[in-house]
Structure formats: C-alpha cells, structure tokens
Structure 1
Amino acid sequence: MKIYIKITPILFSALMMTLAVSCTDLEIEETDSLISEDSGSTGFTGLSDPESSLGDLYNKVGGDFQGQENMYALSEVATDELLVPTRGTDWGDNGIWRQLHTHTWTSSHLYIKNSWNNLNQNIFRATEIIESNPSADVIAEAKFLRAFNMFFVVDLFGSVPFRGVDEGPDVNPMVMTRTEAFDFIESDILDAFPSLPSVAPGVDNTGKATQEAANFLLAKLYLNASVYKGTGTFDAADMQRVIDAVDAIEAKGFAIQEGYFQIFEPTDDTETIWHLNSEVGGRIWNTLHYNQNSPDNEGGGWNGFTTLSDFYNSFEGAPNTNYVGDGQEERRGFVPDATTANNQNLGIGYGFLIGQQYNEDGTPLTNRQGAPLNFTKEIPALVGNTEVEGVRVIKYHPFDPTDDENQNNSFRRHQIMFRYADAHLMRAEAMMRMGNDITGAVNELRQKRTDTPDLTSVDEQELLSERGRELFIEYWRRNDLVRFGQFTSPWGLKEVSGDQNANLYPIPETALLSNPNLVQNPGY
C-alpha cells in the first residue's frame, strides 16, 4: 500500500501563503530562461540515453498535469465549472484561488508562473531528446510530447519562446508568434505520425504517444485554429481536417463507452485514447469533506473544490437532491442513500455530490461541528463560507472495484487526457461550423448515457453545454469557453471580465526579465 501524507487545511493554507508570497520574487531561475547544463558554448553533444530521457519526460509531464494547481487551475478553476471558496481561514491562500475565479490575476500569479515554466521546460527537454539522434520511434514520441506541451503554451499564453539545444544562457530564446507556433505544432505532429504505433482501445495501449493520440491533438489544433491564428472565423478546410482526424480514430475501434464513471477506472474501455501516468488522488480529496474517507485514506478530504449551481443545473434531474431515482442523467452521478433499497454503493458518491452525505454503513455523516454534512447547492460568497457550501464533484473514485483491498495503487496512476467522447463532440462541432445539423450526432452520445433524454435541437449554446456535461473537470472547459466566445462572460460570483484580453494569461514577470524578446500580452 502506498503511504499518503495528510495535508491538513491549516498546513495547506500556510504552505500556499508561503508560495503565494514567493510569486512576487523576480529572481531569475533556471526554468525561466530554459537553461540546461548540457547547453552552452561547448556545444550540445547529445543525451547519453535518449530513450531513458523520454521515459523521464513522460513522468515529468504526468507529474505536471496531475496537481490541482498550475495548468489544471488555469484550465478549470478559472471557468464556470469550479470554484474554491474560502471557508473560514481554509483555502484563503492569499486569494490565489479567488483571483482565478474572478479573472483578477496578475503576471506574478504563482500558478501562471509555474505553468509557463513547466510547459516550456518540457518543450526544451523534448528538443534535447530529438536532437540527440535517437531511433525514429523515440524522435516521434518526443515530437508528440513537444507538440502537446506547446499546444498548452499556445492555448494559455499565445506566443512561445524557443531555445535551441546549443544556445547557452547568454542567448535570448527566439519567440514564435501564436500563428508560427501553430505551424510548428502541426509540423511536429505530422512528422511524428508515420513512426508512431497505431493501436486499438485498451489500457495497455494508451499510456504512450500513438497515431490515434496524434490525430486527437491535431483535431484540437484545427478546431481552435480560428483562435490561434486570430482569424475569428472557422475555416471549412480546418473543420474538415477535424472530421478526418476523428474518423481515423473511430476507424481503429474507439467508440463511446456505456457506463460513464467506469471510463475513469484503470480498466479497458473504448473511450480512452491517451492517459498520463498521474496520481489522481488530488482530484478526489480536494473536493471531499474532512469527514469523508475511504479504507486507504482515513484522514478524509481537504474540503475545497466545488462546482457552481448554474453548472449543476445544466444537467437533468431533481434540483436539490441526487439520490438514485431522482431523475438525474447518468453523468450527474448520485449521492448514496441508505434508504434506497437497490443502492448497494453506500459511502462516497459519484459525480456531483449534493445534500446529505453518508458513511459506508449508511450512517449519515456530520461536519466537524456535529451538524449534518449536507452539501448546499448555492455558495453565497467567495469568502466567509462554512464547511458545507457548494456541490462537490469527482470523476475518479476512491473505491477502485478492481482492487479488492482498496489500495488503489494502479487506479491512482491513470489520468485520462484524450477521450473519444470529446473527439466525437469535436467532430460534431466541426460539422456545425460547416452549417450541418448535429442534433443526431449529439444524441448519439447522449443515448449511451443512462437516463439522458434526446435533445430536440442543438445550437451553439447547447453544444457548449453538452461539452460541459460530458467533459467536466477534464482540462477542456477554458479552451471551450474561449472558442465559443464566453470565457469573459459573467457567471456565479464573477462579473464580466472586461475586454477579450483575459482570453490569454499574462507572460510571467520573471520570463519577461530573462528574455527581452518576449512581449507582454495586451491588457497586462
């Protein structure tokens, strides 16, 4: 069994206060200017073991994308899906979470700086592997990983610095415009494609770069081309490329999977296209109350992340409960109820958790003050909350049915990044952008989700809502909101963000100091 260190809310707050203070420190760090001990005036002679370095890079990317902060916070907490309300003194953290929700961040925000550094460091490490002249398949995987990380730099920040392996710290990295980076990403993926394996669905096939993962990333790139190229219009040729890429994935056997929450278990399914070797414990415990636990985590949750009432209301079902039989669609999940005769899964529920919570034996749980642990739908304010405000949301579950002893070792090393249902909806969106009626395509997905009725019609707003219902907390909400022109719109406890400048995060101050070729994004 793994040993997990329990971080209490007080310790977490203290730690985050320390980190938040450090975000104003403008001292240049190695990661800010992409310095490598193997680069410089002596010339790059290649990595001694590129294949091993590739494995290290996979692990680095998995670690970078597993946390609740950094890229995840920028992609999800800054949207209408997630909120981290301050509860007393818990989750205050010098306002670092509230700034994301209200779009009041600055260029010194810690998670913005960390995301920039992590992504650009991964790009440089991939370049070192590529320039070490390894085998064709190692080059292909490294190019895929470089494209994946550069995609997020383009998406979150716009322009991309790029340092050659022979350039030492005395050379300021060149900077690609967003359009130039788009072309670079496309070229990397297309160059890598012939040397990547083509695989069928299966958990053993989806942990490394494949042609199917490459097609998925290409579809994401082309679907967002109007944003990245600044044209503001969806080009029919790009939309056809999205359709072709998804068709190729489908032809390999990937398909919409029945049993929604089973997709997020470490077992074979037809949906997972690419997963990272990432711990998912944080995705579970950051939302659950201190008194909710499992056999391998008796310390309970961290009582932080919640969803917003309007997002919860976008699902079918009773408005204020989520018990089995309350008419909710499958993706909204359920809160176990000991009085429901056919419910055998007492304890922590799946999906969105609202109302009274229960222990494994059906005993109603209480909060730390002894009152019923009854999660409310509404969150009155960003600060001053009690322990129970807000609907909680999880996809990965602490009880792994494949692990009889509930040790969850393999389960906590499997975070899905690319999923076929997303590809299916991307193809539908591309068809919509070309003037086609996509109601049937969207209903094809909904018919695989239990108790999810067909829609009578699907317009742009309904498609955005459907993407939210299917893909919540899977890294794509901000990307979707920007593409649909709604990232700066108001939502619960957030006013209009002003002009469209908020669609890009600022370049961190330390990066600007270390590389004068960088130009700050407008509005900062």
Structure 2
Amino acid sequence: MKQKMTVNNFKRLLALGVLSGVLLTSCTDLEIEATDSIFLDANDSTFQGIEDPSSFLDGVYNSLNGFIGDQTNLFALSEVTTDAALIPTRGADWGDNGQWRQLHEQTWPTDHNFILGTWNQWNGLQFQASQVLSDLTEASPELKANASFLRALGTWVILDNYGQVPIREVTGSPIDDPIVLRGAEAVDLIVADLTDAINGLPLAGPGSGNTRPEKAGARYLLAKVLLNKHVYLGTQPDPADMAQVVTLVDAINAEGYDLVGGYFDIFRPDLDNETIWFLQTGVGNRIYNGLHYNSTITSGGGWNGFSTLAEYYDLFEGDPNINVAGSGQEERRGMVPLQGLPVGSVAGANGDDNGDGFIDGSSVGRGFLIGQQYADDGTALSDRVGNPLTFKREFQDAQGNTSLIGNDETTGIRVTKYSPMFDGGFTNHEIYFRYSDAHLMKAEALFRAGDTGSATALVNELRVLREATPIGSVTAQDIIDERGRELYAELWRRNDLIRFGQYTNDWTLKSPSAVGDTSRNLFPIPASQLLLNPNLTQNPGY
C-alpha cells in the first residue's frame, strides 16, 4: 500500500533493499558481531537497539573502504559507463563474460553483477545507519550525527543511481514490503539527515585527519544533493537551491578548506587543506588496474586493464600525441617521465629494492600516460612479447578495426593520479570529497543562477592554479569539461554527465542503441528485488 511520509516519519525508518541487505556482498573490512544488535530471542526478530553503537559505526565506516576503494560496483558504474574509462578485452585478459564491455557500451543487463552489488551495498549502509538512529539505540549526539550522515549518503547513492529507494520501519516485521521513496520524498529525507549531521558533527577543519566526515563533509554532500535536486524532481534548477549551494561552499571555505597548488601532491598520503574526506583504503586499484604488467617493479607490475578515450584526453591542453615535460600540457594532464627519481629525493617515497639508485616506481607517470614508457633507469620498456611499450590513442583489433575485443597489450591511454612510489601504492589514503569539487559546484550554482561573471572568475581561479589558459566567459560546456579535467577517476563523471544532459551522448565504442536513450540515466532495479518487494517498479527501458 502506498504511503505519504513526512520527514518526522522518515527519521523512524530504515532503508533495506533486500531481506538480507545487511549481508554485504563486496570485499570489505566490515566485521560486526551478531551480538551488536539486541534481539528478544532466536525466534523473534524484533529490533531492540545497538548494544555498542560506537564499535558498530566503526564497522560501518570500515565497510565504506570496500564500497569506494574497489574498482567494481559504484566506481565501475560511475566511471566505466562514461567517456572517461573503458576496459577492452586484450586476448583473454579482462573478458569477464563481457561485464566490463557492457558498462562502457551502456548495454548492461538487469542482472549485471555490479548493478546488484551497488544496490546491496548502499541499501545495507542505510539499514545499519538507521539502526543507530533508532530511539532504541542509546548513542551520543555525535554518533547519531555520524549515522545521519551515513544514512543520507546511502540513500543518495541509491536515489542517484536507481531513482527509487526502499524504506523499512526499524521495528517492523522483516516480511513486510518496504515502502519506496522517489523524487521529492527521497530528497527530503536526505536533506533532513544532512541537516542533522551538520548540526551534530564536529568542526575540526583541514589537516585533522578527515577519515570521518566533519561538518564540512556533510555540507559538501548537501551541496552535491541540492545541485542535482532538479534531476531527481524532473524540474529546472531552483534559484534557492543554487543559493544554498553557494552558502554551503562558503561555509566549507570559512573552515579553512581551500584550493591548493601542486595537483598531484593532493593525492599523496599527506594531510592538506584540499581534502575534505578521505578513506583509509589502499589506492592500489587506482594505480595498477591501468598500468601494463611491465610498467613498474612495485607490487609485481600492473594489471593492464583500465584506459580512457582519446576524446577525453583531448579535453586537456597539450600535444595530443605526446605527454612529456615541455610538450605544453597543463598540470592536470600529468606527464610520462623519461626515468625515475634518485633515491632520497622525495620525502616519504619508497626505497630502492633492485639497487639501481632510483626510487622504486618513480618512473611511472601521473595523469594520462601515452606513448613510450620507461623503466626507473631510463630504459625504454617493452611489452611481454618484446614490442615497445607504447600506450596508444586507439582501441583496435588485429585487423585495425576499432573494437573492445581483440586488443593487444598497448592500446589505450592509461590513467593514474596516485603514485606507486609511495608504499607501493597501497597507502590507505583515497580521497572522496575534495574542496576543488566544492569550488566548481559553487561556480556551477552561480552559473545556473545567471551570474556568469562570478562563475567565470571561479573557474579561472582554478585553471590558473592548474597551469591552464583562462577562459573568456564560461559556458555550460566549459563547466562540465572543467569538472572532467579536475575530477577524473574520482567517481563523479556519470553524475556530472547526467546533470548536464550528456550521459546519452555518443562516444567511441558506445553502442549505437544507447545513444540518445535517456532510460540509461538510471540503472535497472535488480530483478530479484522486484520479486521481493512489489512496491518497487522497474525503471523505464528495462
């Protein structure tokens, strides 16, 4: 039965996509004992509260390490379904029954593993956060504020990707069908939770660790939700929402968060004024999934999978066919070094395991890797069959056809922001919320409110810092392109393209059937969930 819910009623609900939603399917660090939730007895599932909410929340936050740090599920849905990333099949490598190719082609089936995995993970997050928020759980105001943030985050991820959010009353029977929130009702719940989080989370500022979201993290997420609100409601942007985005970003800036120079230094395992929230998860997935097997001696080499499209690479200033120092590239495009760095020349970097006098992994470039690649000692690298290891713009099979299958080991421009010369690349420091994103959200909000002059000034402030040419007067295309240049491989590309109406655009190796198909803007509700909860409805086009 359909129900009209108020915000007060929302706060007494928990989200649950499947009856076993708390049994998360991805590899995570989550360890929660059965005794953490109190039940009447083995035959009565009536919820009685969380016995140790502090430890319970530690486990919930640890689960996010897998949700965000993985290369599957949310990361794959956010990046591989766009123009920013693709994984061609190279011989037998990365075939995986076509699941990577289906994402980039936008031909995913309703039972795609990553679509189901994302659904289960983030609905499970809502479930756990709502247990802490229950009146039956005795928790401090700060713990409740953390739970409010987590529930808002989980609800938002489901709304953004699937367009509908299943909600179950905390103390209800597990056999009852959860109600489903869509549009304004779902946004109202998220906004209410984030308002509570802003009020209850500490005000610590940059450099304090940032492994849990503080007030700035909740403000950032609320700004993100409001910037996208018109997408969820099917309306035009509300000037009041845009004004609130500006106010939220200004409040983050007032806490001490700001733009910083040295783009790739942001992605080192150090604290800075740019990072609003990072996760204590290894960044190896962001490095090795694109590097060739022979790219580096650290961690046994790369996995030779993830690449990007030439048209995405061409968003950046610089020679389209080379990316080395002096070739005119802007800072964010990075570069391919011609050799490694001497041992001891970079604080906090690796040692020299092979005795060649260079920091292990320091010959691996940052940003976009194209052309000949080099070893630490400056030797030109080869692939496994002895051909020059030159990353190429095109994806071609042996007959020269543009294709996602039949590629050799060197097709595709590779991408990495994190360097393997720091602890082999598995340092627990992956950034999720950054001030540069907030800065660009403010610019976009001002632009959507009609203040092109102020928006242009903000975009150019960032471009000058990143050694790029200022823009005369920004357009909507300039803003989405700037977000692409600043935030690549940070889980925002799909969200951005949808907000700018470009997720249905054509790009290389996208299926012609998906071009212009707005049904791709939402993923399908997994078939198993439709059977379990008749209040869910399959999204159009599936």
Mapped to 2, the partners of 1:407 and 1:288 lie a distance apart of 13
Asked if structure 2 preserves the Cα contact closer than 8 Å seen for 1:266 and 1:414, the reply is yes
Asked if structure 1 preserves the Cα contact closer than 8 Å seen for 2:161 and 2:523, the reply is yes
Code of the aligned partner of 1:475: L
- What does the per-residue CA deviation read over 1:216-240, in whole Å, with 9 as the maximum and x for residues that have no partner? 0010011001101111x11100100
Asked if structure 2 preserves the Cα contact closer than 8 Å seen for 1:33 and 1:515, the reply is no
Code of the aligned partner of 1:191: D
**Larger relative CO (CA 8 A, sep 6+): 1 or 2?**
1
Code of the aligned partner of 1:259: G
Does residue 1:314 correspond to 2:350, yes or no?
Answer: no
- More displaced 10-residue stretch of structure 1: 415-424 or 335-344: 335-344
When the two structures are superposed, what TM-score results if normalisation uses the length of structure 1? 0.89
Q: Which runs of 4+ in 1 moved over 6 A?
A: 339-345
Mapped to 2, the partners of 1:307 and 1:339 lie a distance apart of 24
- CA offset at residue 192 of structure 1? 2.1
* Structure-1 residue corresponding to 2:68: 65
Mapped to 2, the partners of 1:41 and 1:500 lie a distance apart of 45
- CA offset at residue 521 of structure 1? 0.8
Mapped to 2, the partners of 1:480 and 1:489 lie a distance apart of 13
State which of 497, 505, 516 in structure 1 corresponds to 2:515.
Answer: 497
Mapped to 1, the partners of 2:341 and 2:117 lie a distance apart of 46
Pairwise mapping of residues 159-198 of structure 1 onto structure 2 (< 5 A)? 159-198=164-203
* Structure-2 residue corresponding to 1:365: 381
Mapped to 1, the partners of 2:19 and 2:527 lie a distance apart of 12
What is the percent sequence identity of the aligned residues? Answer: 48
Code of the aligned partner of 2:459: V
Mapped to 1, the partners of 2:459 and 2:291 lie a distance apart of 32
Code of the aligned partner of 1:245: L
Code of the aligned partner of 2:171: D
- CA offset at residue 206 of structure 1? 1.0
Pairwise mapping of residues 59-208 of structure 1 onto structure 2 (< 5 A)? 59-131=62-134, 132-202=137-207, 204-208=208-212
Specify the SS of the correspondent of 1:305: coil
- CA offset at residue 340 of structure 1? 12
Mapped to 1, the partners of 2:252 and 2:22 lie a distance apart of 37
Mapped to 2, the partners of 1:504 and 1:199 lie a distance apart of 36
- More displaced 10-residue stretch of structure 1: 110-119 or 440-449: 440-449
Specify the SS of the correspondent of 1:371: coil
Runs of at least 5 residues in structure 1 that lack an aligned partner in the other structure:
1-27, 401-405
Asked if structure 1 preserves the Cα contact closer than 8 Å seen for 2:53 and 2:139, the reply is yes
Asked if structure 2 preserves the Cα contact closer than 8 Å seen for 1:32 and 1:510, the reply is no
State which of 503, 512, 517 in structure 1 corresponds to 2:530.
Answer: 512
- CA offset at residue 294 of structure 1? 3.8
Q: 1:408 to 1:498 in 2, by over 3 A?
A: closer
Pairwise mapping of residues 220-259 of structure 1 onto structure 2 (< 5 A)? 220-231=224-235, 233-259=236-262
Does residue 1:394 correspond to 2:416, yes or no?
Answer: yes
Specify the SS of the correspondent of 1:46: strand
* Structure-2 residue corresponding to 1:484: 500
Specify the SS of the correspondent of 2:431: strand
- CA offset at residue 243 of structure 1? 0.3
Asked if structure 2 preserves the Cα contact closer than 8 Å seen for 1:271 and 1:421, the reply is yes
- CA offset at residue 490 of structure 1? 0.5
- CA offset at residue 339 of structure 1? 11
Code of the aligned partner of 1:515: N
Runs of at least 5 residues in structure 2 that lack an aligned partner in the other structure:
1-17, 25-33, 347-357, 396-401
- CA offset at residue 177 of structure 1? 1.4
- What does the per-residue CA deviation read over 1:133-171, in whole Å, with 9 as the maximum and x for residues that have no partner? 311100000110111111110100011001222233311
Mapped to 2, the partners of 1:351 and 1:138 lie a distance apart of 38
Specify the SS of the correspondent of 1:45: strand
- CA offset at residue 457 of structure 1? 2.4
Mapped to 2, the partners of 1:146 and 1:364 lie a distance apart of 50
- What does the per-residue CA deviation read over 1:70-123, in whole Å, with 9 as the maximum and x for residues that have no partner? 000000000010011111111111110111111111210110000000000010
Mapped to 2, the partners of 1:447 and 1:269 lie a distance apart of 20
RMSD of aligned alpha carbons:
2.2
* Structure-2 residue corresponding to 1:403: none
Asked if structure 2 preserves the Cα contact closer than 8 Å seen for 1:32 and 1:514, the reply is no
Mapped to 2, the partners of 1:509 and 1:454 lie a distance apart of 49
Asked if structure 2 preserves the Cα contact closer than 8 Å seen for 1:33 and 1:169, the reply is no
Code of the aligned partner of 1:335: V
> Would you say how many aligned residue pairs link Structure 1 and Structure 2?
484
- CA offset at residue 414 of structure 1? 1.2
Q: 1:191 to 1:508 in 2, by over 3 A?
A: same
- CA offset at residue 130 of structure 1? 1.5
* Structure-1 residue corresponding to 2:431: 416
Mapped to 2, the partners of 1:93 and 1:206 lie a distance apart of 36
